[in-house]
Amino acid sequence: MFLRANGGAPPWRNSVTHDIPRRTATQEWVLWSVDALDITPLDELAADCISPAASFSSNSSFSSNSDYDLETRSPSMSISGTGSGHVTDRDLSAMELFRRAQVVRLKSHHDKYLLAEEDEESVCQDRNGSIKNARWTVEFIEHSTGLRFKSCFGTYLTATNIPFLLGITGKKVLQTLPKRLDSSVEWEPIREGDQIKFRTRYGQFLRANGGLPPWRNSITHDIPHSTSHQDWILWDVDVMVIQTFNSLDSIASSTGYEPILPPPPPPWMTTSHHHSKVESSPSRDHHSHHKSSGPQDESTLKVEGRVIHYKIANEKGEVEEGEEVRLIFKGSEVEELKERLKEETGLEDIVVCSRNPLNQKLYPLRLQLPPNNNDMHVVVVPSSGDVEAPESP
């Protein structure tokens, strides 16, 4: 039997069992993604000459020009060297560790990720690191030890001269798009054990603040003078996208050693699930909500059909907020959708409903779905649930 993560309505929802899935719709319930929490140091892997980031990549794709795009989503410090057996991770500076990084996440001492706010100006920290706002593209600066971090909006992480609060030494960190990329958008990475500090040109450090509002979840640049705040300038770096191998020639010339390429990924690693849960960002004081998905989060494959977003209601027609599942549906009939949702949810007798935007009541869907394959939001209600009867024509 297989370890199985169950879905559907309670008591099945979020439960874990071991079973043999016999229905097509539940075959994927026994599939698990594996995140490497502890990566073996490079000096222990010297005999194999394989990069830990490449070894534990969680999503690989094979392109037509035989290059590889590797991703790793380790929640621990995942920047590792790419060298041979003569080079260990302790021999590498912070800049050399960043040579393989193309897109990163920065996680603070408070276990929160550095996010670019939707207003395209503010930055904050939040525990939801799965959204695009947590991804920062790394840009190298020629003849410099600094880096630039570009947000998903094309803006840069910027150390400003604006005081965060009057009478307080900390200055605001924003996302900006200056006409000229000056030293305010440059951050020098400095190793502190397995973590990184980011220093501005003028000696301050990128700092994730804690405590009560307005300090909570704010980001400033400052020099911490209190012993209890020394950890607030330390960051874990998660490498989300590793530089493609056709660009490693420049890495070899800059670091002085040749990278070792891992073998091609197996074919099954290039496939993706046909649906996934849509995560929503938790609310925060004085911070806006973040969109759970965007163009960069969607599959790069062209999908035929429409996206159905559905929630499961209880027998009273009540729906829990924040839980929404999506699937790709190619049909046009309500009955076809009903059968598909039966398979997805594991429920036998259901009513597929839509919510009236005026009175927020649930009404059963009838006949055909709307044309043009537009996305739909529906609610799955057990047949004995509390829904409004459809009006007579």
Domains of the chain: 1-32 (no CATH), 42-267 (2.80.10.50), 303-382 (3.10.20.90)
Residue 59 has pLDDT above 80, yes or no: no
pLDDT band of residue 377 (cuts 50, 70, 90) is: confident
Residue 24: the pLDDT is 72
Angle at 289 between CA 286 and CA 294, to 5 degrees: 150
Residue 217: the pLDDT is 92
Residue 58 has pLDDT above 50, yes or no: no
Helix, strand, or coil (residue 180) = coil
Residue 210 has pLDDT above 80, yes or no: yes
Residue 287 has pLDDT above 90, yes or no: no
Nearest to 205 by CA among 48, 356, 94, 51: 94
188/47: higher pLDDT: 188
Residue 17 has pLDDT above 60, yes or no: yes
**How far is residue 203's CA from residue 193's CA, in Å, rounded to a whole number?**
19
pLDDT tens, position by position, 308-360: 888 888 777 787 776 678 888 888 888 888 888 888 888 888 888 888 878 87
**How far is residue 166's CA from residue 309's CA, in Å, rounded to a whole number?**
46
Residue 83: the pLDDT is 36
Would the pTM count as exceeding 0.85? Answer: no
Name the phi and psi angles at 247, rounded to 5.
-105, 5
Residue 89: the pLDDT is 54
| DSSP character string of 87-151 | --GGG--HHHHHTTEEEEEEE-TTS-EEEE-TTSSBEEEES--SSGGG-EEEEE-TT-S-EEEE-
Nearest to 238 by CA among 185, 196, 187: 196
Residue 158: the pLDDT is 96
Residue 137: the pLDDT is 94
Residue 43: the pLDDT is 44
Q: DSSP assignment, residue 160?
A: E
Beta pairing partners, 326: 309
Helix, strand, or coil (residue 138) = strand
Residue 39 has pLDDT above 60, yes or no: no
Helix, strand, or coil (residue 341) = helix
Residue 170: the pLDDT is 87
38/129: higher pLDDT: 129
Residue 390 has pLDDT above 80, yes or no: no
Instruction: Name 205's Cβ contacts closer than 8 Å, sequence gap at least 6.
Output: 197, 198, 199, 221, 222, 223, 224, 233
Residue 22: the pLDDT is 75
Helix, strand, or coil (residue 233) = helix
Query: Of 39-43, 163-167, 179-183, 270-274, where does mean pLDDT reach its minimum?
Result: 270-274
Question: In this structure, are residues 15 and 6 in contact, taking their beta carbons and an 8 Å threshold?
Answer: yes
**How far is residue 60's CA from residue 72's CA, in Å, rounded to a whole number?**
9
Task: Beginning with the edge strand found earlier in the chain, give each strand of the sheet holding 376-382 in spatial order.
Answer: 325-329, 306-312, 376-382, 350-355, 362-364
Q: DSSP assignment, residue 234?
A: -
**How far is residue 5's CA from residue 16's CA, in Å, rounded to a whole number?**
5
Beta pairing partners, 222: 205
Q: DSSP assignment, residue 155?
A: -
Q: Name the strand (E) or helix (H) holding 108.
A: none
Residue 6 has pLDDT above 70, yes or no: yes
The whole-number average pLDDT for the span 282-297 is: 43
Question: In this structure, are residues 22 and 32 in contact, taking their beta carbons and an 8 Å threshold?
Answer: no
